[in-house]
Chain A
């Protein structure tokens, strides 16, 4: 991806190059520089058939992918950032419905970035889960 690619092109390139994003069925939309990631409900995302509820790992992974997508939009390098660590807070059960997430880059460092992500379903004020994570900026080449 060239350095003069638009944010929309960077986002599309990140989403298209990652097989696991297709496995999840994740999409993302840009309004200016604000990105909303969307995880449409699909039966294969269920972790608990009794409730039913999305697998907690799916919610964590979706938010981590949201952070990586937001970093791709902002930094736009050819390679995705690498996850160093994430701390996932589970706030409410993820129900069998569409899930949304937004990432906030708290610090975009030359080598390491810090990103917070919140995911919600029916109401943004009632998040189902959140993460804080550190991500390593890929070296060029």
Chain B
């Protein structure tokens, strides 16, 4: 069983794997979508969403809805910021480009990288793929406001 991370500890310092796993799998929306923790490393994070029939956008193609990709990319950006030892307050803007449809019934994996932190803002890039990160389904660029003026 996953122990909930101590909130104060989660608000400061770097993110351990248990807190990252909790962040990915234990919010109501990510739990409803079935998000799975993949990994964290310095300023980077990865999340998987397994294919499910009720998450499909167009039943004729069986491809996961772009709205699921939006939430996946938003969440992996937040994870990357926590992996950079900052705490996101909220998304300011999120731009998503959909390169191609995912393969029917394919799981999706998103990788996020927080490549710049200022005292108040985090800048993040992310992509979602269905097996090959060099052939992404979607890419994202986001800016987040930070809590507490940065680390």
Specify whether A and B are partners: yes
Show the binding face of A for B, using Cβ within 8 Å: 17-20, 22-24, 43-50, 53-58, 60-62, 64-65, 79-80, 82-90, 93
Whose C-beta in chain B lies nearest to the C-beta of A87? Answer: B95
Contacting pair A56 B57 (CB below 8 A): no
Tell whether B41 is near chain A: CB-to-CB under 8 Å: no
Number of interface residues of B (CB under 8 A): 35
Question: Which A residues are CB-close (under 8 A) to B56?
Answer: 18-20
- Tell me the minimal C-beta distance from A31 to chain B in angstroms: 25
Please list 27 pairs of residues, one from A and one from B, whose beta carbons are closer than 8 Å in the complex, sorted by A's number: A17-B59, A18-B59, A19-B53, A20-B65, A22-B54, A44-B31, A45-B28, A47-B27, A47-B75, A48-B27, A55-B27, A55-B29, A56-B71, A56-B94, A57-B29, A60-B67, A60-B74, A61-B66, A61-B67, A65-B67, A79-B60, A80-B58, A86-B96, A88-B91, A88-B93, A90-B91, A90-B93
Contacting pair B60 A61 (CB below 8 A): no
Chain A interface secondary structure, helix, strand, loop or mixed?
mixed
Question: Which B residues are CB-close (under 8 A) to A43?
Answer: 28
Question: Which A residues are CB-close (under 8 A) to B27?
Answer: 46-49, 55
Given contacts A23-B54, A56-B91, contact A47 B30 (CB under 8 A): yes
Tell whether B6 is near chain A: CB-to-CB under 8 Å: no
Docked CA distance A84–B139 (Å): 11
Question: Which B residues are CB-close (under 8 A) to A54?
Answer: 29
Contacting pair B71 A88 (CB below 8 A): no
Tell whether B55 is near chain A: CB-to-CB under 8 Å: yes
Question: Which A residues are CB-close (under 8 A) to B7?
Answer: 50
Whose C-beta in chain B lies nearest to the C-beta of A65? Answer: B67
Tell whether B73 is near chain A: CB-to-CB under 8 Å: yes
Partner among A17, A53, A61, A89 whose Cβ is within 8 Å of the Cβ of B68: A61
Contacting pair A88 B29 (CB below 8 A): no
Contacting pair A87 B66 (CB below 8 A): no
Query: In residues 16-54 of chain B, which contact A (Cβ within 8 Å)?
Result: 27-32, 53-54
Question: Which A residues are CB-close (under 8 A) to B59?
Answer: 17-19
Contacting pair B93 A23 (CB below 8 A): no
Docked CA distance A139–B90 (Å): 38
The 7 closest A-B pairs by CB, nearest first: A57-B71, A61-B67, A20-B65, A55-B29, A57-B74, A44-B32, A46-B28
Partner among A23, A60, A83 whose Cβ is within 8 Å of the Cβ of B98: A83
Question: Which A residues are CB-close (under 8 A) to B96?
Answer: 85-88
Given contacts A19-B53, A64-B70, A90-B92, contact A58 B29 (CB under 8 A): yes
Given contacts A48-B27, A55-B29, contact A60 B55 (CB under 8 A): no
Contacting pair B29 A45 (CB below 8 A): yes
Tell whether B97 is near chain A: CB-to-CB under 8 Å: yes
